Amino acid sequence: MSERARLGLFLGAATGMAVLLAWGMAGLPAFGAFHGAYALLIDHVVVAQRHATDAVTAVNFDYRGLDTLGEEFILFTSVVGLAVLLREQRSERERPPARAGEEHRFQGASCALRTLTLLLVGPLVVLALYVDSHGALTPGGGFQGGVLGAAALLLVFLGGGYLTMRRLSPHRLVELAEAGGAAGYGMIGVGGIVFAGAFLKNFLGYGTAGELISAGTIPLLSMAVAAEVSGAFVLLWSEFLDQALIVRRG
């Protein structure tokens, strides 16, 4: 199809779509006038029921815990799919470092960038652990903290080099974190069946609202997700960086 015909077809379809969207959105409640029954209910009962002060995390890991299980497995499956897509092909081979100690440095990294990124690695790991563990109390949780933790390794790549990053995140460990996190979430769910009679039901004591160890299984599920997300993202970045730096056609 010629470019002009394609654009014409799109403009016609987009105009129709815009009209449909405007029509549909005209029927939505006015901005700021939301009265969703479930949201109002959760805002009122979440602290009393689950002793969790962050309603979003409580929804994610308790009220809607089953959806999060699915979401976690979407991430898991897509990273497996990515590893399959970027596997070593017949016409490719991995290029070993020519000399021992040769490193794939990030091109264009100045001394200032290297120093700054390496200084930030430690604080970023602490921030990741803080966000992971305080998900039930303040904004955060396993997904956000997991990405932060994986980002610390990207800083190692920026400031140090790719092989340093790989040494800090051995493949086996990364895969173990990813698979263990996914399985851990499922096992905590099974714990709900054993101890409380329903899958993913919160079966631990709720503790005191506002304390670090409170809200029952919510922090545990959050940590499981954090391990899975960190592992998944590090695996994902390693696969892409492998393509750019290690794999050679030949």
Partner 1 sequence: MSALAYGTAGWLFLVGLYGIVTSRNLIHMVICLTVVQSSTYVLLLSIGYRSGAAAPVFADIPPGSRAVDPIVQALTLTDVVVEATVVALMLALAVQAHKRFGTLDPNELTPLRG
Q: Could you give the CA distance from residue 117 to residue 138 in angstroms, rounded to a whole number?
A: 27
Binder to partner 1 among 69, 128, 137, 218 (CB under 8 A)? Answer: 137
Residues 139-198 binding partner 1 (CB under 8 A) are 139, 141, 143
Residue for token digits 């940590």? Answer: 223
Contacts with 1 (C-beta within 8 Å, 6 or more apart), sequence order? 9
Dihedrals φ, ψ of 223, to 5°? Answer: -65, -40
Q: Using DSSP bridges, classify how beta strands 247-249 and 92-94 pair: parallel, antiparallel or unpaired.
A: antiparallel
Q: Is 200 in the site for partner 1 (CB under 8 A)?
A: no
- Taking residue 196's Cβ as centre, other Cβ atoms within 10 Å add up to 15
> Is 100 among the residues that bind partner 1 (CB under 8 A)?
no
- By CB under 8 A, residue 208 contacts partner 1: no
Binding range to partner 1, per CB under 8 A, among 134-142, 148-156, 166-174, 215-223: 134-142
Q: What residues have CB less than 8 Å from 128, skipping those under 6 apart?
A: 145, 146, 148, 149, 151, 152, 226, 230
Q: How far is the CB of 17 from partner 1 (least distance, A)?
A: 7
CA atoms of 201 and 220, how far apart (whole Å): 13
Taking CB under 8 A as the rule, does residue 56 contact partner 1? yes
Piece in contact with partner 1 (CB under 8 A), picked from 24-32, 120-128, 164-172, 214-222: 24-32
Instruction: Choose which of 5, 48, 111, 112 interacts with partner 1 (CB under 8 A).
Output: 48
Task: Output 53 or 202, the one with its CB closest to partner 1.
Answer: 53
* Binding residues for partner 1 restricted to 221-250, rule: CB under 8 A: 236, 239-240, 243, 249
| Of 9 and 126, CB closest to partner 1 | 9
Tell the smallest beta-carbon distance from residue 57 to partner 1 (Å): 8
Interaction of residue 86 with partner 1, rule CB under 8 A: yes
User: Is residue 122 close enough to count as binding partner 1 by CB under 8 A?
Assistant: no
- Please classify residue 4 by burial: count the beta carbons closer than 10 Å to its beta carbon, then call 0-12 exposed, 13-18 middle and 19+ buried: exposed
Q: Does 80 contact partner 1 by CB under 8 A?
A: no
How far is 167 from 169, CA to CA, in rounded Å?
Answer: 5
Residues paired with residue 94 on neighbouring β-strands, in sequence order: 247
How distant, in Å, are the alpha carbons of 1, 31, 44 from that of 131?
Answer: 50, 31, 24
Tokens representing 162 are: 């790719």
CA 186 to CA 59: how far, in whole Å?
17
Of 76-84, 150-158, 178-186, 200-208, which part binds partner 1 (CB under 8 A)? Answer: 76-84
Residues found near partner 1 in the complex (CB under 8 A): 3, 6-7, 10, 14, 17-18, 21-22, 25, 28-34, 36, 38-39, 42-44, 46-48, 53-56, 58-60, 64, 67-68, 71, 74-75, 78-79, 81-82, 85-86, 89, 137-139, 141, 143, 210, 236, 239-240, 243, 249
